[in-house]
């Protein structure tokens, strides 16, 4: 998100896993009555930028929780907020947002690790290798703090110049060397390997010199193995939408990256609703468009002042633009499924490796008794790390330990966040039954039939012995598991 600027008026979910296993999300035929419900039916998120100071505003929070399933911090995760003094980090605002998101089943976009604006004064006074080292340390520390809690990070924001040149913006970061963006992405991947890593910019909505400059950088990164997963298109729009908006998004998707609408707002006027609907349809038309985020909730919350650029008016009422977006979402096609739904091989044994930690689901200390702890541990392919899927019908399975012959069990039929996952004798109870939900990239979530919560590594731990519990499904990387067939 930039400071106030003049906005230009032209501004499968079926995923193959390993060794013949597939898992799919079921499509939903009903029309959603909220933005988040309809977007979720289409396999996408619909998010909003949040100022945590407004979380005490009941109207604001009511709309946020009802309509949105993704949030991004307006300012609380930027450099000046998270590292106000060199080496002294403050995460109060960011942690508050993440806590609110987790309590309400929302994912979180991280914004932003590096940007030429809103740098703390001490960083503005640095240059050369001192600034480079400080910047990479900042990326590492912040991404590590939020590891396992962020769906997508805007690793670098607005690094390209406006105008017809298509080149980089002259900034203190750029003057540390042209490879600074690459260095930031590599550091972010090391710090949080489960998060999607995005480049984010404005005035890149159509095919123009600036968007082509970004496109060339992304193409180069993909060719050289620089870790980039997504490109964010801010889409701060005026009174018209570029005619090649969808084609521009598609050309990036064709490079093998996801595309996201990250800061959408549209100037008020007779065309506002049509533009919002057109952006929504464009995203739905592109398989790799993950979702849409609007920059604020009500018009009174917008950085654009009197533009009244959002979906809810200053009194919190739905606008025509809201109805246009919801109608466009409901008119879209549900994500593809594989009929019949993909199933695991019930004769095979699998390791379940966590996306966040890289460790395997493990029966702690080789226990064979009822109630024994389930933890994560460094992969060793031992019997205590091998699991077989036992069919319970209706798309649900029990996970049986090769060591003990017992199955994963939500202790005492708990329905609370943090409920313990243990092993227990197989009674085929609903607290022992799990279905598979796709998380992309060959990872799945395990959703319990009794509680409708997912199996996760508590607190996004990366340590051996990290507890396995259940929690609300927010698709965190600590809730994602790779199934590796070993026999």
Position 394 in a domain? yes
Same domain, 313 and 367: no
Same domain, 140 and 212: yes
Q: Model confidence over 351-373: pLDDT tens digits?
A: 999 999 999 999 999 899 999 99
Q: Model confidence over 42-94: pLDDT tens digits?
A: 878 999 999 999 999 999 999 999 999 999 999 999 999 999 999 999 999 99
* 218 contacts 199 by C-beta, under 8 angstroms: yes
Residue 67 a catalytic site member: no
Of 61-65, 300-304, 339-343, 398-402, the one with minimum mean pLDDT is: 339-343
Same domain, 414 and 315: no
CA distance 137 to 293: 28
Same domain, 269 and 398: no
Residue 416: give its domain's CATH number: 2.80.10.50
Position 298 in a domain? yes
Same domain, 322 and 365: no
Q: How confident is the model at residue 348 (pLDDT cuts 50, 70, 90)?
A: confident
Mean pLDDT on 229-257: 96
Q: Which of 299, 331, 363 is the last residue in one of the domains?
A: 331
Q: Model confidence over 166-176: pLDDT tens digits?
A: 999 999 999 99
Q: How confident is the model at residue 345 (pLDDT cuts 50, 70, 90)?
A: confident
Kindly tell me if the per-residue pLDDT of 1 is higher than 60.
no
In the set 41, 76, 158, 456, the catalytic residue is 158
Position 16 in a domain? no
CA distance 163 to 154: 23
Q: What are phi and psi of 146, to 5 degrees?
A: -95, 10
Position 4 in a domain? no
Same domain, 98 and 153: yes
Same domain, 52 and 152: yes
Buried b (16+ CB within 10 A) or exposed e, 72-101: bbbbbbbbbbbbeeeeeeebebbbbbbebb
CA distance 366 to 324: 57
Same domain, 69 and 121: yes
In the set 67, 74, 76, 263, the catalytic residue is 263
CA distance 449 to 436: 11
Position 145 in a domain? yes
Mean pLDDT of all residues in the chain? 90
Among candidates 449, 383, 338, which has minimal Cα distance to 24? Answer: 338
Residue 263 a catalytic site member: yes
Position 460 in a domain? yes
Domain count, the chain: 2
Same domain, 92 and 208: yes
Highest mean pLDDT among 24-38, 152-166, 442-456: 152-166
Residue 101: give its domain's CATH number: 3.20.20.80
Predicted pLDDT of residue 17: 31
Q: Which domain holds residue 111?
A: 23-331
Position 340 in a domain? no
CA distances from 53 to 120, 270, 295, 301, 306 (A): 20, 32, 15, 11, 21
């Amino acid at each position: 998100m930039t400071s106030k600027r003049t906005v230009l008026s032209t501004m499968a979910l079926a995923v193959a896993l390993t060794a013949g296993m597939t898992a799919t999300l079921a499509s939903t035929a009903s029309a959603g009555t909220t933005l988040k419900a309809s977007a979720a039916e289409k396999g996408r998120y619909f998010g909003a930028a949040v100022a945590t100071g407004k979380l005490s505003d009941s109207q604001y929070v009511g709309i946020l929780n009802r309509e949105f399933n993704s949030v991004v911090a307006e300012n609380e995760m930027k450099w000046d907020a998270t590292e106000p003094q060199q080496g002294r980090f403050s995460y109060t605002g960011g942690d508050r947002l993440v806590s609110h998101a987790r309590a309400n089943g929302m994912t979180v976009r991280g914004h932003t690790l590096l940007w030429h604006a809103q740098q703390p004064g001490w960083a503005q006074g640095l240059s050369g290798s001192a600034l480079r080292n400080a910047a990479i340390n900042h990326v590492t520390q912040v991404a590590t703090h939020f590891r396992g809690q962020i769906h997508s990070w805007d690793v670098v924001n607005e690094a390209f110049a406006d105008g017809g040149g298509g080149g980089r913006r002259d900034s203190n970061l750029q003057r540390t060397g042209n490879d600074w963006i690459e260095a930031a992405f590599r550091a972010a991947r090391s710090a949080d390997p489960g998060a999607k890593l995005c480049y984010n910019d404005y005035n890149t909505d159509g095919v123009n010199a600036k968007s082509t400059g970004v496109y060339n950088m992304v193409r180069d990164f993909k060719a050289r193995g620089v870790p980039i997963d997504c490109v964010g298109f801010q889409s701060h729009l005026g009174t018209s939408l570029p005619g090649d908006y969808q084609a521009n998004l598609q050309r990036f998707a064709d490079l093998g990256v996801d595309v996201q609408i990250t800061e959408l707002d549209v100037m008020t006027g007779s065309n506002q609703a049509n533009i919002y609907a057109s952006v929504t349809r464009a995203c739905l038309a592109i398989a790799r468009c993950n979702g849409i985020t609007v920059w604020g909730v009500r018009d009174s919350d917008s950085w654009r002042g009197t533009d009244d650029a959002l979906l809810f008016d200053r009194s919190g009422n739905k606008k025509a633009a809201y109805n246009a977006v919801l109608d466009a979402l409901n008119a879209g096609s549900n994500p593809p499924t594989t009929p019949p739904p993909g199933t695991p091989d019930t004769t095979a044994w699998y390791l379940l490796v966590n996306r966040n930690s890289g460790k395997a689901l493990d029966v702690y200390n080789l226990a064979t008794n009822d109630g024994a702890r389930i933890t994560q541990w460094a992969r060793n392919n031992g019997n205590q790390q091998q699991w077989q899927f036992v069919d319970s019908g209706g798309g649900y399975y029990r996970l049986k330990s090769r060591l003990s012959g017992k199955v994963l069990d939500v202790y005492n039929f708990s329905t609370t966040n943090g409920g313990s996952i243990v092993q227990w004798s197989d009674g085929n109870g609903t607290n022992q039954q799990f279905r598979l939900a796709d998380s992309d990239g060959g990872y799945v979530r395990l959703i319990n039939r009794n509680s409708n919560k997912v199996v996760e590594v508590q607190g996004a731990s990366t340590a051996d012995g990290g507890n396995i519990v259940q929690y609300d499904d927010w698709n965190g990387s600590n809730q994602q598991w790779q199934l590796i067939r070993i026999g």
